[in-house]
Amino acid sequence: MTTKVISLNEFEHGWRGVLESCTEPGQSVVVELPNQRRVSIQNWDADDDLIDQLLENNAEFRDMARKSFAGPRRPFPLTTQPGT
């Protein structure tokens, strides 16, 4: 697996390319956020049973999924607001 580490600024200016690169098997990107936290983006195979495992074994994840599915769908914001 190949992992590339980029800054939030790099991600904001090239997010389409970053996401496209993550669609390739074995490719992942770690985005370093200003508050010293990190987010990993990687390809998820539809045959991957991670979600099934989480639903089966993690009560907190089950509750979060149940709550999410019970509410209305909202669009995912692809732009950042000043101060976020």
Q: Which carries the bigger pLDDT value, residue 84 or residue 62?
A: 62
Beta strands of the chain (E only): which ranges? 2-7, 27-32, 38-42
State residue 80's pLDDT score. 55
**Secondary structure letter of residue 35 according to DSSP:** T
Indicate the pTM of the whole model.
Answer: 0.55
Of 25, 20, 67, the C-alpha closest to 45 is: 25
State residue 54's pLDDT score. 85
Write out pLDDT tens, residues 20-53. 888 888 888 999 998 889 999 988 765 668 778 8
**CATH, domain 2-70, list 1.10.3470, 1.10.10, 1.20.120, 3.40.1620:** 3.40.1620
Burial class (CB in 10 A: 0-12, 13-18, 19+), 55: middle
Domain boundaries defined on the chain: 2-70
How many beta carbons lie within 10 A of that of residue 19, not counting itself? 12
Instruction: Return mean pLDDT, the chain.
Output: 82
Return the SS3 of 3. strand
